[in-house]
Amino acid sequence: EVGEFVTASGEVVRGEIPRFFAGDPNAGNLGGGFLFMLFGLPGAALAIWQSAKPENKARIGGIMVTAALTSFLTGITEPLEFAFLFVAPVLYFFHAVMAGAAMSLMYVLGAKLGLTFSFGFIDYVLLYPLNTKPWLVLLIGPFFFLLYYVVFRAGIKWFNLKTPGREDADTIDTGEAQAGTAHEFARQLVLAFGGRSNITNLDACITRLRIAVVDAGKINQDKLKAMGAAGVVMVGNGAQAIFGPRSENLKTEMEEYLSVAGDDAELSEADVPDVQYTSTETTAKLRDPEAADKAHNFIKGLGGSVNISKIEAAAETRLRVVVADQSVIDDAALTAAGVHGIMRLPNQVLHLLVGLNADQYAAEMKGQLATA
């Protein structure tokens, strides 16, 4: 909640984005994000695509074009950033420096741009009339496209980075999934996660498949990447495979396949030796001693138990809540209770950013709702 602004009616508004929409002429200093999400990261995607080995360019091109469009249209950068964050962290360092330069440049030039969700083209167009000097994005943006392209292309070449399509791994068998039916693709996904008996829970968010498993060592990360995942993040006994906007549909296809699958949904003895086993050791979390009080206040801020239809932890740091009526949500009360951010999604769904104890808060809230 950076800064504060007093409206004509005497209301005190805090936070960069709320102040912008309240009419504060000094707000809107995050406009540099449009430079690297609309232009910079798509330039990086092109560099990764062109740096791939010839035999992999078609596959990587499909992944990078999808990831670049996602960044450009919506400002969701996970599919693209996770493609190089873990395999080439030096590129992420360059990205951070250039993103910071973009933010500083737009601030110095006096541009004031707002956003509702992220720095995507949709927000840019919708809020264009409210912005100050929004044309600077179109003027400077192509330079950042070229800058990102040159830095990423040179970095990949000079450091011989194993970005997508440049891996030394052997060819991964995707089991004809690319050319098969939806069920065949879903079957190969199930096998990549260790087979039906290894999967304990299926979930998805906007850009990721989130699969909980019995043995994380049976997850075949190379196969998931060969099937189109921009990256795979191991989280405890599970994995988050970044398939971009397809993730929710893929989860549905896996659920439909598992409902009718037979023994073909299990790894064969021949498949098991090819799996790369990794350690499943996780770092213990510090529990929040005030979780019960926070859960009570979260419920109150959400409009009470009668307004909450469903609550669950999501993406390690969020509470995913389905409510009956979003209009009764008290944002100020939720913020005071410890919610760092609120995302309103379609179908009465909210994401509350609460930190690494999201699972603890979800359990507390479920317990309190059950006895309400």
Q: What is the DSSP letter of 112?
A: B
* pLDDT score for 292: 87
Most confident of 52-56, 128-132, 192-196, 324-328: 128-132
Q: How confident is the model at residue 199 (pLDDT cuts 50, 70, 90)?
A: very high
Cross-strand pairs, 242: 208
Residue 192, both tokens: 């990549």
- Rounded to 5 degrees, what angle do the CA atoms 47, 82, 347 make? 120
Residue 173 burial by CB count (10 A; 0-12/13-18/19+): exposed, middle or buried?
A: middle
* pLDDT score for 65: 93
Q: Which fold has domain 182-267?
A: Gyrase A; domain 2 (3.30.1360)
Residue 240, both tokens: 């988050």
Same fold for the domain at 182-267 and the one at 291-370?
yes
Q: Are strands 199-204 and 4-6 parallel, antiparallel or unpaired?
A: unpaired
Q: What is the mean pLDDT of the chain?
A: 86
Per domain, the residue ranges of the chain are 31-158, 182-267, 291-370
Q: Which of 27, 99, 177, 205 is catalytic?
A: 205
Q: In whole angstroms, what is the distance from residue 187 CA to residue 185 CA?
A: 5
* pLDDT score for 179: 40
SS3 (DSSP) at 201: strand
Residue 354, both tokens: 């609460």
Q: In whole angstroms, what is the distance from residue 225 CA to residue 229 CA?
A: 4
Is residue 277 predicted with pLDDT exceeding 90? no
* pLDDT score for 348: 86
Is residue 1 predicted with pLDDT exceeding 70? no
- DSSP H or E stretch at residue 154: helix 135-158
For the domain covering 291-370, report its CATH number.
3.30.1360.60
Q: What is the pTM (predicted TM-score) of this model?
A: 0.59
Q: How confident is the model at residue 169 (pLDDT cuts 50, 70, 90)?
A: low
Least confident of 10-19, 41-50, 233-242: 233-242
Q: How confident is the model at residue 164 (pLDDT cuts 50, 70, 90)?
A: confident
The distance of Cα 4 from the centroid of its chain, to the nearest Å, equals 29
The average pLDDT across 151-163 equals 95
The average pLDDT across 297-306 equals 93
The distance of Cα 278 from the centroid of its chain, to the nearest Å, equals 24
Q: In whole angstroms, what is the distance from residue 28 CA to residue 112 CA?
A: 4
Q: How confident is the model at residue 332 (pLDDT cuts 50, 70, 90)?
A: very high
Annotated catalytic, 43? Answer: no
Q: What is the dihedral of CA 160, 166, 171, 172, to 10 degrees?
A: 110
**Alpha-carbon separation of residue 236 from 223, 278, 280 (angstroms):** 20, 11, 6
* pLDDT score for 28: 93
* pLDDT score for 281: 44
Q: In whole angstroms, what is the distance from residue 195 CA to residue 82 CA?
A: 25
What percent of the chain has pLDDT above 90? 44
Residue 118, both tokens: 């992220």
Contact 339/352 with Cβ under 8 angstroms?
A: yes
Is residue 129 predicted with pLDDT exceeding 80? yes
Is residue 284 predicted with pLDDT exceeding 70? no
Is residue 270 predicted with pLDDT exceeding 60? no
